[in-house]
Amino acid sequence: MEGADASASHKYAKELQVGVRVVQMACSLCQKLQKGSVGPSPDHVVSKDDDSPVTVADWSVQAMISWMLSESFGRENISIVAEEDAQTLSDDSATSLLASVVATVNETLAMAPRFGLKGPTKPLGGSEILDSINRCNSTGGPVGRHWVLDPVDGTLGFVRGDQYAVALALIENGQVVVGVLGCPNYSSKRKLVNNSSVRSDLWQEGCVMYTSKGSGQAWMQPLVQGHWSLEWPNSASVIRVSSIDNPVMATFCEPVEKTNSNHSYSAGIAHRVGLRKQPLRVYSMVKYAAIARGDAEIYMKFAKAGYKEKIWDHAAGVVIVEEAGGVVTDAGGRPLDFSKGVYLEGLDRGIVACSGVNLHEKIIGAVYASWDSSHL
């Protein structure tokens, strides 16, 4: 995995390599569920207490990644903050649902050697799967190492065959130091400049982006397809943010859902700074991915009153954008604080990610200028 080796500082080399491999596995799992080649129909959706959806893919990815991280780094050394719990799966009425998750996880773990990892010697049972999911019960904090996982970010996008992401990050003493973002439906096809040896037919749908803090680079590799393994050389390329700093030419992203995002306020900011293009409304952290690889220049999210942003919805994307040359802050211009636990506490009004300093300053200036007249 040449790209991961080259982009990792020595301190986080193993964490980055394992992270990329397990996210590749997770993307493969999700694609197979979407295509119906394993497990139930992807539209088998359960509503959580907050009415947000959860699927077999969410539980399966969380169980698989939890198990692999515990095996790679030692169960006693692992702290994982993740979105899902196993309460629904543990119910007596969820026998068939749990069976689907168990089958999906075991089929994926059996492929671990293809991804350069070691799987279990025998299939995992239901209790082991539930234990792996429930092991992700850390609340993070300012001290120590905490893996942060959103198994399927943008579950509605997944169900609808649209954009979604598998997001894994490592936080050390409150700082995001490793970020891996798997985007199964975000095409990795692009013009290759310095990597002409890559077979063009390998650049299929989907990609994984990744970085480590301080490397000054972010990388993208295509998802493993067909009989190819992750060991195939030269599969990664460096990604950089766009050089566009003229608002007239800039593309800006915002969430699809209106429930937790104020589209009208974003539209006002866009008008104030002179953005001409219609917003690109995208599910999940694929918005961060689009900025990191130069397909968009701005991502704005202004949450409605009472909504609190969770760290697993941003950690991986933020560090990837920053190392690719971009800027991410809250709407007051301050860095996001990942040291306060599950939530991004103290967030000032919203989140602004930009491909460069000039655009970022314009957005932040417009927020300050317009805030008194906002209806947030």
User: For the chain, what is the largest distance between any 2 Cα atoms, rounded to a whole number of angstroms?
Assistant: 62
| Calpha distance 36→26 (Å, rounded) | 15
Catalytic residue check, 91: no
Residue type, 208: V
Buried b (16+ CB within 10 A) or exposed e, 342-368: bebeebebbbbbbbbeebbebbbebbe
Task: Report the number of secondary-structure helices (H) and strands (E) in the chain.
Answer: 10, 14
Q: Which of 155, 211, 251, 329 is catalytic?
A: 155
SS3 270: helix
CB 206 within 8 Å of CB 187: yes
Of 33, 37, 29, 32, which Cα lies nearest the Cα of 64? 29
CB atoms within 10 A of CB 22: 27
Q: Which of 55, 58, 150, 153 is catalytic?
A: 58
Quote the distance between the C-alpha of residue 293 and its chain's center.
Answer: 14
SS3 312: helix
Catalytic residue check, 58: yes
Question: Which helix (H) or strand (E) element contains residue 169?
Answer: strand 165-172
| Calpha distance 288→228 (Å, rounded) | 27
Of 305, 309, 306, which Cα lies nearest the Cα of 328? 309
CB 83 within 8 Å of CB 58: yes
| Calpha distance 83→193 (Å, rounded) | 38
Tell me the two tokens of residue 296. Answer: 């968009």
CB 83 within 8 Å of CB 50: no
Contacts 24+ apart (CB under 8 A), 14-18: 14/72, 15/73, 15/170, 15/177, 15/178, 15/212, 16/178, 16/180, 16/210, 16/211, 16/212, 17/116, 18/68, 18/69, 18/72, 18/73, 18/117
- Residues marked active site are found at 58, 155
